[in-house]
Structure 1
């Protein structure tokens, strides 16, 4: 059935205007004033913004880590994402050294099959580079549409790759049209500091932060950027948490190196003191990179405002406090790294960013949706509101006040990292390819209808009828 969204204010990365939106066959077929409602279902968006569906470029659903598996899978994770206004997630396929890359991809297809309620794609971890891996990469791109590769510079003896692997991945990505992503921390130094802390009997969660100081995130970010310049390639730094890393990204961009940066809501509103909470409560806030001293938040917000950082991911990686986080009760290094963030990503950025004047409405849309669509080969099908694109739409009430809590969230995990935080603004209705997933704050979607997305190569240029300028 056709749908007409009326009485709302459309906001894209470049425009703000009042208009109706006609949806037919899963796409936006017309935008204009006073559109006919004959034969269509009318959706009233009075008093609300109409945003393009959010794109979360950084999730870990049903991922094995630290002797356990993340609590949210592709069903609960994408339902929670939809409640939060996200209509596309890009998850990470974790590979095993010595195994064909296709094995990891097949595993992630099996994890996601018939579960997701919104559309999704995959990034692919590269843990080693040899002739077998290099020979497989063109097939990964052409057949699977996976055009972004993740290299870990941290987690020694688990995920960490050496510098040669990173550099050769960058070289290959340049030739193949892929975007290389890095978790930028110096894993060797982290390993040394962690061992020293434990030898000295320092086992509490706060030592997770103290053994991963911001200097080593900055160092790894700068090293990755240097390699990118040498390879004349392209780099995306995930979950930037501190001023040291922001500075390295800004310097690289000023020098003409093709580097992009992502931060996450947890780094914008939480700080290192959360890891000091008594009774092991600090374990709820153990993820990597760790939370930083509070003053870094101003630097991150300014970086989003000025374009030194361009996107916001959730780094969704949820573990129950009881039964999973407490695996590290007597050893902070055994606390599973990660937090439940996917549902609150957009609301926090709106409330703390737009409502407090730190970023504009257009920047908000660019940061939560459009820029990720462009960087990861989904634009203009995703990431904007225009004729001919997928009808991934969020009707967002900018006036409602609410308190974030595990009692009301939709993630499968037993705590919320932002418990008690008051925010203004909330998604009311969410459509994926023209079908309701959330309607009037209730889940009405269907399990398994989310489609796997094959993505275009990095740098392929697209044009839309509404914007004749070339876009990356």
Structure 2
């Protein structure tokens, strides 16, 4: 395959160039490469040629106890194909009765049968059984070098207490495991919820208020403390509060190994959506924040204080929400997003003049590749790297429609927004998996990608 005449953006540079693919790898990147006999040529004049996106935060097939998400590995990765995402890192929850290996194996079997793009896994640790230290090292040896903990959801399987987190982080660094944290102080959430219920403020209009931004920042500060005293790196997921990012930045400046992730919904929407009659479309945790916080997050993204952008794709349908008469009754918060990250970040970031193309690639490809041990195999356009590429046409413009998307959730919180640019073609390891509106990726084509151990001395992998 020869991709000819596009604007190639990778590793801090952009230039008009051709990209030659042989087999599953990139063979050459140069100007004016002559086509060879039998070579498929993709004309890319006027199109951006970017490294395939790496979504570090997806929940395909998640079952939180009320049934699985509408999106399984087949529909979720079909949506990824259409969004220019060539690698997804999905979560594998440790349910009761499972050790670390059993939790990973259960999800791995699903992915091996149905994934249309490449994938890896984060272990979601919910407890530490006898012998967990050795099992943690075995997980890393098998190519899974990250694990998530939750500081909230005390009434569900996900919550772990501070002592468990501390014990885990005493061992995670030496084992090569990067700990991720969903940071919200559960006691603060419960206290605010009780106040709202006592005041009869229970409608979806109060969903954002029920999970105050301060609860996130407090839990972030605790995670950073654990990183400081153990020396193990930490990755703070889906940060919605500029103060949370500031805490990570201050910690890094003090030598703590910490990474910050945010999501498109926090950068592109504000909490006025909870006043709308269709507020059920915007239910996720943490919730969308006020406009001043949205602007503040962009300031920090622009300043390079945020390392990655993940979709937090959690493809429940609106019907799976259950009772939406009160925020406390909603069963399944979560939104689809793997397909819309690139056009959203281009529209609200690049087109708006807040970031440039190089920053876009750093946030969506290079940053996740480095953070999670996929670099230099993925996240860049260079000879020898996997041929993971997305051709993005910035000239296409129009409102996003639910019906143009491929998620089984069958809605998008971003529907109605006018987006600049659409994915034209997605290539995963040299194979077309999406082209001009058609998903071509086959179930089972996606391959498990082993990841390098996290490096405590740097806070990065790879």
Partner of 1:408: 404
Residue 270 of structure 2 is aligned to residue 271 of structure 1: yes
Partner of 2:226: 227
**Is 1:405–1:420's contact at 8 Å kept on the other side of the alignment?**
yes
Partner of 2:290: 293
Partner of 2:382: 386
Partner of 1:436: 432
TM-score, length basis structure 1: 0.94
How many Å apart are 1:305 and its aligned residue? 1.2
Residue 207 of structure 2 is aligned to residue 211 of structure 1: no
How many Å apart are 1:276 and its aligned residue? 2.2
- What SS class does the counterpart of residue 131 from structure 2 fall into? helix
Please, which of 450, 455, 460 is the counterpart of residue 459 of structure 1? 455
Q: Give the Cα–Cα distance (whole angstroms) in 2 for the partners of residues 186 and 333 of structure 1.
A: 20
Partner of 1:467: none
**Is 1:217–1:244's contact at 8 Å kept on the other side of the alignment?**
no
Per-residue CA deviation, residues 82-127 of structure 1 (Å, 9 max, x unaligned), is 1111100000001124531122111101221221110000000111
**Is 1:284–1:325's contact at 8 Å kept on the other side of the alignment?**
no
Q: Give the Cα–Cα distance (whole angstroms) in 1 for the partners of residues 66 and 200 of structure 2.
A: 23
Per-residue CA deviation, residues 133-192 of structure 1 (Å, 9 max, x unaligned), is 22211111112x110010101111311111111112212111111111000000122133
How many Å apart are 1:348 and its aligned residue? 0.3
How many Å apart are 1:130 and its aligned residue? 4.1
TM-score, length basis structure 2: 0.95
In structure 1, stretches of 5+ residues that fail to align are: 463-469
Per-residue CA deviation, residues 287-328 of structure 1 (Å, 9 max, x unaligned), is 11111111111111111111211110000002111x211334
**Is 1:154–1:185's contact at 8 Å kept on the other side of the alignment?**
yes
**Is 1:327–1:336's contact at 8 Å kept on the other side of the alignment?**
no
Please say which of residues 453-462 and 75-84 is displaced more in the overlay: 453-462
**Matched residue count:** 459
Please, which of 265, 273, 283 is the counterpart of residue 280 of structure 2? 283
Partner of 1:466: none
Partner of 2:241: 242
Q: Give the Cα–Cα distance (whole angstroms) in 2 for the partners of residues 51 and 163 of structure 1.
A: 40
Residue 312 of structure 2 is aligned to residue 320 of structure 1: no
Residue 9 of structure 2 is aligned to residue 11 of structure 1: yes
User: Using a 3 Å threshold, how does the CA distance of structure 1 residues 153 and 249 change in structure 2: closer, same or farther?
Assistant: same
In structure 2, stretches of 5+ residues that fail to align are: none
How many Å apart are 1:444 and its aligned residue? 2.0
Per-residue CA deviation, residues 53-85 of structure 1 (Å, 9 max, x unaligned), is 000000000101251321111111111111111
Partner of 1:262: 261
How many Å apart are 1:248 and its aligned residue? 1.3
Q: Give the Cα–Cα distance (whole angstroms) in 2 for the partners of residues 9 and 78 of structure 1.
A: 26
Residue 43 of structure 2 is aligned to residue 34 of structure 1: no
How many Å apart are 1:28 and its aligned residue? 0.6
The 5 Å alignment of 1:33-52 reads 33-39=31-37, 40-52=39-51
Alpha-carbon RMSD across the aligned residues, in angstroms, is 1.8
Please say which of residues 103-112 and 369-378 is displaced more in the overlay: 103-112
Q: Give the Cα–Cα distance (whole angstroms) in 2 for the partners of residues 127 and 446 of structure 1.
A: 33
How many Å apart are 1:343 and its aligned residue? 0.7
User: Using a 3 Å threshold, how does the CA distance of structure 1 residues 461 and 451 change in structure 2: closer, same or farther?
Assistant: farther
How many Å apart are 1:202 and its aligned residue? 3.3
How many Å apart are 1:203 and its aligned residue? 2.7
Q: Give the Cα–Cα distance (whole angstroms) in 1 for the partners of residues 181 and 31 of structure 2.
A: 45
How many Å apart are 1:20 and its aligned residue? 1.1
User: Using a 3 Å threshold, how does the CA distance of structure 1 residues 257 and 333 change in structure 2: closer, same or farther?
Assistant: farther
The 5 Å alignment of 1:163-174 reads 163-174=162-173
How many Å apart are 1:208 and its aligned residue? 2.5
